[in-house]
Structure 1
Amino acid sequence: MGSRAGNALAKVLGIKLPEPGETEELLREESVLSTGSFAEEPPTSAEWLRELVPDRTACVNYVTSLFPFVNWVGYYNLKWFTGDLVAGITVGAVVVPQGMAYAILANLASEFGLYSSFMGVIIYCSDAPLRPVAVLSTVVGNIVARTRDQFPQYEPHHIASAVAIVSGSIVLFIGLVRLGWMIDIIPLTSLPAFMTGSAITIPVGQIPSMMGMTEFPTREAPYLVIINIPKHLGDSKIDAAMGLTALSLLYVIRAACSYAARRWPARQWTFFFLSTLRTAFVIMLYTMISWLVNRTRRGDPLFKILGEVPRGFQDAGVPKIDTTLIRSFASDLPATVIVLVIKHIPISKSFGRVNNYTIDPSQEFVAIGVTNVLAPFLGGYPSTVSFSRTAIKSKAGVRTPFAGVITCIVVLLAIHALTSVFFYIPNASLSAVIIHTVGDLITPPDTVYRFWLVSPLEVFMFFLGVLVTVFSSIKDDIYATRILRGRGRFLGKVKIHSVIGDHIIGEDHREILGKYGTFDADARKTAARNVFLPIDHGDGSNPQVEVDNPYPGIFIYRFLEGFNYPNAAHSLEYLCEYIFKRTHRTDMETHEKLGDPSKAAAERHAAEGRPTLKAVTLDFSSVNNIDITSVQRLIDVRNQLDRYAAPDVVDWHFACINNRWTKRALAAAGFGYRTVHETNADQRHPPRRRKSIFSVAEIGGSDSAAAMAEKEEGRIDRITDAIFDDGRGGVSAAGGRDAYGEQMEAIVQRKGVAVAGVNRPLFHVDLTNALQSAIANVEAREGEDMEEGKMPSP
């Protein structure tokens, strides 16, 4: 019925449809192997829609993903709780002073930083906890100051709450509709440019507060503030003593702990905690000094202090928001949304790679959105992830997101029990904490140099972003530095023949094959050849053709839509996901975290019958240029898979690279060369031998191997005939083949040259050569393992 209606509609609209029997008749006329014929069906709109509509399993997984605690709560144990307790308390001691300091950056009272810190963990537990951060607080502070100038009737915390609700709603919507992959639109260079620019502008804005200067505005363009600071150095007050000494002490403690950790490695854990708690120690020290100085002059302190901090959640309630307020900061929403996610996703992904799990960007968007939508009901303002606190949490021994609940308790105690102490905190010391915290965000010159090796053009983009930040604002830096989503296919090996008429080309050894685009050679060697097809037949190839895996533990991955920053993350996440499902960890007894053995038995059972990961081959035939983001993603995945395959290493082979700049970028990242693998940690044994397989071609001209072979055509023909007609020619097949092979080997040895550079042995001209090289090295390693008395990996 639908087909008839469609045909009738096509007639009305004048659409010419193909004749019904056209395809079948074509097959009858052209196919010589009718029983094995195959007609590729064109894709239909219904098929496309079916792929978009989720099934029941996808719907269940979607709902489950909104509550990530279900993935780990069933495994929770006492060892995990111990690690979470230590990490939660440690982070809480850092969050309290930093939260109050960052609230000042946002033009808010200090208690609002504590409210935001509390809501970031009580609403949603994630591995990368949400807190107020310096950069986002600066953006919010600029919005508050500008809106207050236009609409003085709005209180600062009302403006900040409105920004949190609107921007959080946008991010939440993006996450719920699973569009989190859009974060990949932002290239890698924009993040270090953004952080470097922020690391310059934020301290510049805090220097006047640290020095007690109040004669000029600090919300102007950073370069104007830089110009005004030397002009007003003479206006510095006693606050400078509380600020400069606090800043110096922070750096001295960090340097001393770093030196002590190297000097006494057995106690590095102790020095790590001392270094981590330096912020809390300095604030406590200078608060005590301030109390000694100002306890008898609360109404007229000698230097600026924090002042009254209300106890409890005094500003809890329904946020005040209206259309006029939203219109006042609508132009700043894109920048605010980008700042919310530009750090969160990279930080979450980096710790996911370290701990061997995959981050879902859309789920992280949901976490950011929920936190920022609900936080204003307790007085919070926009929050996102802080790399420093996430790193502290990870290094302190965190086991699960439950550590965030411990941190929440610490913050809650501070809000209710320590507010009277906060009264005496010097403002200059808080400015010193901000300067010290963001000072490490500057991208080091070595990183910029590596950017230059990979992509010189993007280095100019990096400096452009930094300059825009210094001469304009942080949000303009984001805009100055901004194929979307795609993934590749895994390939398998298929042996094929070429057919013409009723004959398979090469079946008759006497037939000359050159006229069909092949080479004149031994016909029996060219009758079949290997090609590489997608294992899922996603290219439309015949699904009846069985595609073989290249080799146990070796994977061939072809990029379909280039390999650049917008699609690099998604392509490589699919690569890792596919490999993890079809291999198992080399050392199943390795547990990176205490308590992990509770899941080890299940993992071992699921891994039965799977090989270990040995090599990855990337087909770059569709890749022309790569950038810093894609190369960095590739480096991250290489490190992740090396940890997965430890103590072995994973070989990375590249085939069909068509651009010299692409080879340069990959080589700068350490690809294309052999991975040196030692047999044990102390390196008493020599590194493993590696086999190099290169593609060799003949030099053209009158002296080429082909020309020399043509001169001896008669004798070679006789040898060849003898190989196949041993009874008539009287020459043994083995002897003829040996004579033929020795002669041709001598010719090729004299005139053969490598097609690709031998200095980069893991860059191959085609997939066949790449697979041969990968298999040769795997078998060589297994042979050495057997010689050393170790069983090769399955």
Structure 2
Amino acid sequence: MSDPAHTTAARPTQHAADIIIDYEQDDYRKQSQEFFQNLPHYIQEYFISLFPIATWIHRYNLQWLIRDLIAGATVGVVIVPQSMGYAKIAQLPAQYGLYTAFVGLCVYCLFATSKDISIGPTAVMSLLVGQTVTRITAEYDTISGPQIAVALSLLTGAIAMFIGLVRLGILVDFIPGPAIAGFMTGSAITISIGQWPKLFGIKGINTQDSSYLIFGNFFKNLPNTKLDVAFGLSGLIWLYGVRYGCTWLGKRYPKYATHFFFLSIMRNGVLVIFGTLIAFLINIGKSTSPISILKTVPAGFQAMSVPHVSTDLISAVASSLPSGVIILILEHVAIAKSFGRINDYSIDPNQEIIAIGFTNIWAAFFGAYPSTGSFSRTAIKARSGVKTPIAGIFSALVVILALYALTPAFYFIPDATLAAVVIHAVSDLVSGPAYVKRLAKVSLWELFVFVAGVIITFFTTVEYGIYASVGLSIVILLFRIARPRFWSLGRIPLSSTTSAPLSDSKESQSEQQYLYVPQSHPTLGKLVEDLPAGILMCRIDESFTYPNSGFISDRIIAYCKERTRRHQQFISKGDRAWNDDANPIRDAERASLPRLHALVIDFASVNRLDSSGLQAIVDAQTALNRYAGQHVEFHFSNILHPAIRRSLIVSGFADQPRSGFEHENDDNQMTEILPIVPVSKDGPLQRQATTATGTQDIEQVIETHDAYDKKLDFGNSSDEDSVNTAHSIPLPRDRYPFFHWSADEAVRTASQTLIYRPTGDSEPQAPSAGIEEAHH
């Protein structure tokens, strides 16, 4: 990045000096030397940033410990039943959910930049793993579900960690919120429908089919409902009743809001305990359980081993890796950012991706399947008053307790109760009507992305839902870049302001200023008036790069041709180009239009200009020069980045011909190239008055320019005015006459050379009229 060098050029008057803008050229050699000199420091900072715990662990205290203990234990009570339910969705035994929960909770604190996030099995990732397990086990008899789960955890973790280490977290920003909400909502609906058969105790339905098939088969087999429905429906009634009841009571009695919150959090654990107790009682003395129960859950970490990932296994899971990585990163980073904003701290997306990558690599050694951040558990953790990521260790201790001490009690947990816990948990992932209405009001395209994600996930799989919503979002983004908005601008006179005196006398003169708006503006469009004849202005609302350069160039040319006339009104049939559809009638109608003199392009929204965009501007100017039969000045206003200005200088837009015009001789050759305006350290020189047809009244032009220059000097010798403008500056002017810091300045500058343009095909315009327009 180059540093702007501001040069103040003093003028032999008593008025404040103009500020002339120029920029130093980038010294790449110096920048390279500085980079290599600081490289050891950069490497040191990079490695320190990999372990954020080192920046805050020395401040850890007893009060933080107590709050982390409460929050961790609270999340632990919730995660145990959820993990076993999610493992069922992943088509794995219940203990694999506990393995996944333990590793995520235990390891994440070393790399975390978010205090609130809770790592573990999630509904959407479990659904993806379950669909992958079902697909691969149907094709390969030698590959088991746990092997697939471990391979997914290891490979997705490795890919995510690589993305974080090379700082490619910016890729997350290319996937918008509606795409995430779409496949999350579709996944939540899919998971809920997939739990209906377990909720009602209906056997024989493949819950890994597409949701619409499960939906139809469920109602087809509804008469086969078993006793499980009593556990399932009563569990849902309990979960939602306690949730909404505690919320209402917390608002009704704010003094006890904290007590009601913790009572609400305990609803999952209470449901599982009572459901298990009742199931145990009804199974006393029976050899076969009348309801579907969890049965044996092995104690401890039975699946710990070094992951064995063969080439056949890698090729089998390869198609699920992209969607798995997307879910890992998106779900985690989106939740971390959300709670960071809520609780007033910032996260490092790259570091969070590293954390989730390392967590899943390490989890593969425990037999776990991929884990990421959970929205519901993170919300509980934040509400519980968590202070640091160490709270995850206390949640992990609860999981350890469940694995080693409570597994005998898990035998009689009803599957219908776990299904109720899962359905209740995933309901928070569904975007409600308020979100859909807001999308419809903001952008129909984003609504389309959201709906497409939901529908495709519902009718196919979560993988296709992710690919479709993300793909559509990228296509829409590329379309917006390739087809940016192009505005033709007009101006509206503003209330006059009093400018500085033109001489030592106290007389002041009103200077008209304008507001430049699109001519199609819904409110101000009827007030817009045209710019001076032969001068046009447009605005481009996007970076000028290779995807849109041709489109913008065509729009510029079409816009200028629509509002100006050709320099040759009548062309013989033999000389007419093959693609020229001109006809005498239309040419006669356009005869009253002016010839194009100058085009002002507002670059306020252009933050990048590449070689293709630059060439497109050159091509547009060449085409318009040929159309107008004279050199068309291109002026640029509001150039915000030095690199864009430098690119325009390289292409010759800083020193275009100004004081006269080129004309064609009888052989249709452009001749008599006229001098350009020289560059001055004092800013643009605008006093050259020699034209192709002779010399105008130079003194008159100089006098007009002196008056105009004095009007630009807003500082003056008046004591009262000097107090009012103590912190003000005159309008900055660029070193080159075609770059401007305001649209008014660009139009006035273009108007100053309009006096030398011919009014017809051969006669020049009267000097007085042009001077009046320039002065105006």
Do structure 1's residue 408 and structure 2's residue 409 form an aligned pair? Answer: no
- Structure 2 CA distance for aligned equivalents of residues 766 and 54 of structure 1: 42
Is the counterpart of residue 361 in structure 1 residue 361 in structure 2?
A: no
**Structure 1 residues 494-643: aligned runs within 5 Å:** 509=502, 522=508, 621-622=604-605
Q: Equivalents in 2 of 1:436, 1:382: separation in Å?
A: 22
The structural deviation recorded for 1:73 is 0.8
Partner of 2:625: none
Alpha-carbon displacement from aligned partner over 1:626-655 (angstroms, at most 9, x marks no partner): xxxxxxxxxxxxxxxxxxxxxxxxxxxxx9
| Greater radius of gyration (CA) | 2
| Aligned residue number for residue 103 of structure 1 | 87
2:418 corresponds to which of 430, 439, 446? 430
Paired AA for residue 161 in structure 1: V
- Confirm or deny that 1:266 pairs with 2:259: no
Structure 2: runs of 5 or more not aligned: 1-6, 479-498, 513-540, 545-601, 608-636, 639-706, 712-717, 722-741, 746-776
Letter in 2 for 1:466: V
Other-structure match for 2:428: 440
Match of 2:103 among 107, 119, 125: 119
Summarize deviations over 1:517-543 as a string: whole Å, max 9, x none: xxxx958999xxxxxxxxxxxxxxxxx
Q: Which amino acid in structure 2 is aligned with residue 219 of structure 1?
A: Q
**3-state SS of the aligned residue for 1:124?**
helix
Q: Partners of 1:43 and 1:459 in 2: how far apart?
A: 47
Instruction: Give the TM-score normalised by structure 1.
Output: 0.57
Q: Pick from 350, 365, 372: which aligns with 1:377?
A: 365
Change in Cα spacing, 1:346 to 1:623, as seen in structure 2 (3 Å) is farther
1-structure distance, mates of 2:181, 2:603: 28
Q: Paired residue for 1:312?
A: 300
Distance 2:299 2:236 in 1: 29
Pick from 238, 241, 246: which aligns with 2:235? Answer: 246
Instruction: Look up the match of 1:167.
Output: 156
Q: What is the correspondence of 1:687-698 to structure 2 with a 5 Å cutoff?
A: none
Q: Which residue, out of 269, 277, 291, partners 1:288?
A: 277
Matched, 1:465 2:453: yes
- Determine whether 1:75 maps to 2:63: no
After superposition, where does 1:700-739 map in structure 2 within 5 Å?
Answer: none
- Kindly state the Cα deviation for residue 83 of structure 1 after the two structures are TM-superposed: 0.6
Counterpart in the other structure of 1:728: none
Distance 1:61 1:241, change over 3 A: same
Contact 2:376 2:428 (C-alpha < 8 Å) held by counterparts = no
What do residues 62-95 of structure 1 show as CA deviations (whole Å, max 9, x unaligned)?
A: 2122112112211111111111011011000001
CA distance in 1 between counterparts of 2:142 and 2:340 reads 45
Q: How big is the shift at 1:394? A: 0.7
For the residue of structure 1 that corresponds to 2:202, the secondary structure is: coil
Aligned residues: 491
Query: Match of 1:374, SS?
Result: helix
Q: Give the Cα separation in 1 of the matches to 2:71 and 2:508.
A: 69
The Cα of 1:510 is off from its aligned counterpart by 6.0
1:92 aligns with 2:76: yes
Query: CA 1:54–1:225 in 2, change beyond 3 Å: closer, same or farther?
Result: farther
Asked if the contact 1:510/1:523 (under 8 Å) is kept, the reply is no
Among 165, 185, 188, which residue is 1:176 paired with? 165
1:132 aligns with 2:121: yes
Distance 1:234 1:215 in 2: 13
Q: CA offset at residue 399 of structure 1? A: 0.6
Assess, with a 3 A threshold, how the Cα gap between structure 1 residues 52 and 428 changes in structure 2: closer, same or farther. Answer: farther
Equivalence for 2:202: 213
Q: Which amino acid aligns with 1:397?
A: G
Alignment correspondent of 2:379: 391
Unaligned runs of 5+ in 1: 1-26, 486-505, 512-520, 527-558, 563-618, 625-654, 657-716, 722-732, 738-764, 769-794
C-alpha distance in structure 2 between counterparts of 1:620 and 1:430, whole Å: 59
Shift of 1:295: 3.6
Query: Given residue 467 of structure 1, which amino acid in structure 2 is its aligned partner?
Result: I
Is the contact between residue 507 and residue 524 of structure 1 (CA under 8 Å) also seen in structure 2? Answer: no
Give the TM-score taking structure 2 as reference length: 0.59
Contact 2:118 2:381 (8 Å CA) reproduced: no
Is the 2:90–2:126 Cα contact (8 Å) retained in structure 1? Answer: yes
Q: What is the CA–CA distance in structure 1 between the aligned matches of 2:322 and 2:81, rounded to whole Å?
A: 29
Which stretch of structure 1 is more off in the superposition, 52-61 or 311-320? 52-61
**Cα distance, 1:256 vs structure 2:** 1.2
Runs of 4+ in structure 1 off by over 6 angstroms are 36-39, 523-526, 765-768
SS at match of 2:386: coil
Distance (Å, rounded) in 2 between the aligned partners of 1:370 and 1:136: 17
State the partner residue of 1:232: 221
In structure 2, the residue matched to 1:347 is 335
Are positions 1:58 and 2:42 aligned together?
Answer: yes
1:204 and 1:622, CA in 2 relative to 1: closer, same or farther beyond 3 A? same
- How far 1:465 moved relative to its partner? 1.1
1:476-508 CA distance string (max 9 Å, x none) = 1111122999xxxxxxxxxxxxxxxxxxxx999
In the TM superposition, what is the alpha-carbon distance from 1:58 to its structure 2 partner? Answer: 2.5
Tell me the distance in 1 between the aligned counterparts of 2:36 and 2:419.
51
- Matched residue SS, 1:189: helix
Partners in 2 of 1:185 and 1:394 — Cα distance? 28
Amino acid at match of 2:454: V
The 8 Å contact of residues 465 and 480 in structure 1, kept in 2 or not, is answered as yes
Write the distance in 2 (CA, Å) between the matches of 1:390 and 1:223.
31
**2:200, 2:228 within 8 Å by CA — same for their partners in 1?**
yes
Amino acid at match of 1:439: S
Residues 175 and 362, structure 1, Cα contact 8 Å, conserved in 2: yes
Tell me if the contact between 2:456 and 2:464 (Cα under 8 Å) persists in the aligned partners.
yes
- Tell me, what secondary structure is at the counterpart of 2:429? coil
2-structure distance, mates of 1:37, 1:265: 60
Counterpart residue type for residue 358 of structure 1: S
User: Which residue of 152, 174, 179 maps to 1:190?
Assistant: 179
Change (3 A) 1:525 1:392: same
Compared CA separation, residues 507 and 427, structure 1 to 2 (3 A)? closer
Identity of aligned residues (%): 41
Residue 320 of structure 1: CA displacement? 2.3
Distance change (3 Å), C-alpha of 1:232 and 1:85 = same
Q: For 2:320 and 2:22, how far apart are their aligned partners in 1?
A: 57
For 1:176-215, what per-residue CA distance to the aligned partner results, in whole angstroms no more than 9, with x for missing partners? 1111111111111111112211121100011011111122
